[in-house]
């Protein structure tokens, strides 16, 4: 299940800091907690696959701030949310519409519309573009101690761990032995460094890639995110060149209505 959330800013221009995923993560957990506190609590467990992801926060028009601390933006703000678990979608969207006035990094917004999006029937062989960069990490010994190491698409282990991550998601979703069939060819890659917590940084990759393989594996990545750390805003993709069609739309505090082309 995938959604487009459009937010009306209280002031213009408004600022978007470069490292902002933890603010969106907080909004998602607070919204889920209003509707389903037990689900919110279970998602905080470090051992539970979260099976949701979201894009970076975007705007209709934006420019680099003079102090280079972020982007000055105009028009609506928006982001995409995706999950393979309907219960998570229902709690997040329900909680957000219940309290559409939100504050993010000292900026105030109103969640004006939420749009459920159609999903492509076939994913194998398609070209994908990241809406939030892909993170893949491993442990390597540095100066005599094992430390977290951020892999790049130039390293074979990047692809091995991508496949194993998809297989883990598949197994959790379907309770069955996951298939092996997954191939990924990166067409372009650009690194980006984020501060995910104070003093803790993650290098992740904006990618354009083509993927082939088992449809179940690919759909697990399409809905729950490719790579790691999806619940803190990494690994959401879209199908390149595909127009986003709206299944259904809700207005904050308003009635349901059928959607049109996004």
Name all domains of the chain by residue range, CATH numbers in brackets: 2-118+244-258 (3.30.70.1890), 127-239 (3.30.70.1900)
pLDDT of residue 255: 42
pLDDT along the chain (262 residues), means of 10: 93 87 92 92 81 92 78 87 95 93 91 91 94 92 81 95 94 90 95 84 94 94 95 93 74 48 31
Asked about 149 being catalytic, the answer comes back as no
pLDDT of residue 31: 94
Q: State how far the Cα of 17 lies from the Cα of 14, in Å rounded to an integer.
A: 10
pLDDT of residue 69: 73
Q: Residues 6 or more apart from 93 whose CB is under 8 A from it?
A: 3, 31, 114, 250
Q: State how far the Cα of 48 lies from the Cα of 134, in Å rounded to an integer.
A: 20
Q: Is 210 exposed, middle or buried (0-12, 13-18, 19+ CB in 10 A)?
A: middle
In angstroms, the Cα distances linking 254 to 27, 42, 113, 220, 262 are 20, 30, 9, 32, 19
Asked about 29 being catalytic, the answer comes back as yes
Q: Which of 20, 22, 29, 149 is catalytic?
A: 29
């Amino acid at each position: 299940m995938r959604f487009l959330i459009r937010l009306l800013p209280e002031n213009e221009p408004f600022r978007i800091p470069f490292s902002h995923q933890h603010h969106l993560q907080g909004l998602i957990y607070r919204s889920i907690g209003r509707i389903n506190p037990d689900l919110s609590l279970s998602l905080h467990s470090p051992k539970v696959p979260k099976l949701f992801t979201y894009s970076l926060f975007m705007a209709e028009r934006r420019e680099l701030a003079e102090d280079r601390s972020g982007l000055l933006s105009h028009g609506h703000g928006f982001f995409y949310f995706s999950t393979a678990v309907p219960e998570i979608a229902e709690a997040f969207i329900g909680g957000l519409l219940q309290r559409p006035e939100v504050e993010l990094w000292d900026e105030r917004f109103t969640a004006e519309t939420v749009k459920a999006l159609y999903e492509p029937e076939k994913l194998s062989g398609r070209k994908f573009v990241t809406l939030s960069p892909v993170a893949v990490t491993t442990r390597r010994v540095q100066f005599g101690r094992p430390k977290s190491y951020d892999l790049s698409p130039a390293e074979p282990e990047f692809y091995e761990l991508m496949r194993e991550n998809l297989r883990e998601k598949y197994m959790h979703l379907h309770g069955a032995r996951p298939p092996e069939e997954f191939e990924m060819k990166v067409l372009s890659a650009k690194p980006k460094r984020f501060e995910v917590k104070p003093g803790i940084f993650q290098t992740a990759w904006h990618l354009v890639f083509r993927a082939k393989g088992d449809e179940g594996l690919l759909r697990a990545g399409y809905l729950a995110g490719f790579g790691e750390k999806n619940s803190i805003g990494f690994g959401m993709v879209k199908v390149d060149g595909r127009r986003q069609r709206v299944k259904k739309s809700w207005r904050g505090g308003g009635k349901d209505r059928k959607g049109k082309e996004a």
